[in-house]
């Protein structure tokens, strides 16, 4: 029960890594409050956890909605101990695809803006809403979802890589700014993780991912959830401003 009675907010908690993280942290005693835009799946996840969970439909790009969510959580539970900034999306495309002397395709500006809004500004919105309450409460833990591609880059992911590198940058800034308030800030950088979405990919793509991972397998959502659990717990009380790669030793390239 490493997180017994800790009030824990998880964005993007309706499915995938967010859902498994919610279940895992609840097993360790956390009071888990999920938010997501997928209302039905979010309600189902909260129901699976039981009385120690609640779900809110929140779009992390909407500052007012985020603030109202956090304010309501504090009104109900009196504080926020842990924030897991997990919500994120993909809209992959090459910057420019050139063939026979012509531009045949490129990343749409709308896709760039949307990914930045969710993956980067969403983290900013949620953290800025939570921090004043953590300061008044004497401290807390903020955990941000980055990615190994945020460290190394990846073909066809200009927008996604920019956001995940940006999350690392914000993590390091906030570690400097918030440490004095006993708020620890860290990031987790997953490698190839076998979520339900990934399971639907062609088998040859999955095999390629395995071959690029020295441990020879895909990561599981539980691997990431366990990393969040450890970072949120007092066992990581002197870990601050770190980027924890959970990637099986992956090598990312073209």
In the chain, where the domains are located: 7-244
Measure the CA–CA gap between 244 and 228, rounded to whole angstroms.
10
Mean pLDDT of 134-141: 98
Distance of alpha carbon 114 from alpha carbon 175, whole angstroms = 26
The distance of Cα 3 from the centroid of its chain, to the nearest Å, equals 19
Catalytic residue ranges: 160
pLDDT of res. 252:
65
| Span 160-176, average pLDDT | 98
Quickly name the fold that domain 7-244 has.
Answer: Rossmann fold (3.40.50)
pLDDT above 90: residue 63:
yes
Distance CA 148, CA 249 (A): 10
pLDDT digits (tens, 9 = 90+) for 96-116: 999 999 999 999 999 999 999
Between 159 and 154, whose confidence is greater?
Answer: 159
Average pLDDT of the residues in 130-154: 96
Q: In the structure, what pLDDT confidence band is assigned to residue 146 with cuts at 50, 70 and 90?
A: very high
How many angstroms separate the CA atoms of 17 and 235, rounded?
22
Residue 211's H or E segment, with its range, is helix 203-211
Mean pLDDT of the chain: 95
Q: What is the pLDDT of residue 212?
A: 86
Taking 70 as the threshold, does the pLDDT of residue 253 lie above it?
no
Tens digits of per-residue pLDDT, 197-228? 778 778 888 888 888 899 999 999 999 999 99
pTM of the predicted model as reported, rounded to 2 decimal places: 0.95
- Per-residue pLDDT for 245 more than 90? yes
Cα–Cα distance for residue pair 111/109, rounded to 1 Å: 5
Ranking 93-97, 191-195, 233-237 by mean pLDDT, the lowest is 191-195
CB 6 within 8 A of CB 29: yes
Confidence grade of residue 54 (pLDDT, cut at 50, 70, 90): very high
* pLDDT value of position 202: 84
- For the segment 37-59, the average pLDDT, to the nearest whole number, is 97
Residue 145 is predicted with a pLDDT of 98
Beta-strand runs (E) in 2-128: 7-11, 31-36, 53-57, 82-85, 96-99, 102-106
pLDDT band per the 50, 70, 90 thresholds, residue 254:
very low
CB atoms within 10 A of CB 158: 21
Q: What is the pLDDT of residue 76?
A: 97
């Amino acid at each position: 029960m490493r997180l017994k009675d800790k009030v824990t907010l998880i964005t993007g908690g309706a499915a995938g890594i967010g859902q498994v993280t919610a279940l895992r942290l609840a097993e360790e005693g956390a009071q888990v409050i999920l938010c997501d835009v997928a209302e039905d799946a979010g309600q189902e996840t909260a129901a699976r956890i039981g009385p120690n969970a609640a779900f809110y439909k929140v779009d992390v790009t909407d500052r007012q909605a985020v603030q109202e969510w956090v304010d309501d959580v504090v009104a109900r539970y009196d504080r926020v101990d842990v924030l897991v900034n997990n919500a994120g999306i993909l809209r992959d495309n090459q910057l420019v695809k050139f063939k026979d002397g012509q531009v045949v395709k490129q990343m749409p500006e709308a896709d760039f803006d949307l990914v930045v809004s969710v993956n980067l500004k969403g983290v900013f919105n949620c953290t800025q809403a939570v921090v004043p309450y953590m300061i008044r409460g004497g401290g807390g833990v903020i955990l941000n979802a980055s990615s190994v591609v945020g460290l190394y880059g990846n073909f066809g992911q200009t927008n996604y890589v920019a956001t995940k590198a940006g999350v690392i940058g914000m993590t390091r800034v906030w570690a400097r700014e918030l440490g004095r308030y006993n708020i620890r800030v860290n990031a987790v950088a997953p490698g190839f993780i076998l979520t339900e979405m990934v399971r639907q990919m062609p088998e040859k793509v999955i095999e390629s991912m395995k071959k690029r991972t020295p441990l020879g397998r895909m990561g599981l959502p539980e691997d990431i959830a366990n990393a969040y659990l450890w970072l949120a717990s007092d066992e990581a009380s002197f870990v601050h401003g770190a980027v924890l790669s959970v990637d099986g030793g992956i090598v990312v390239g073209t």
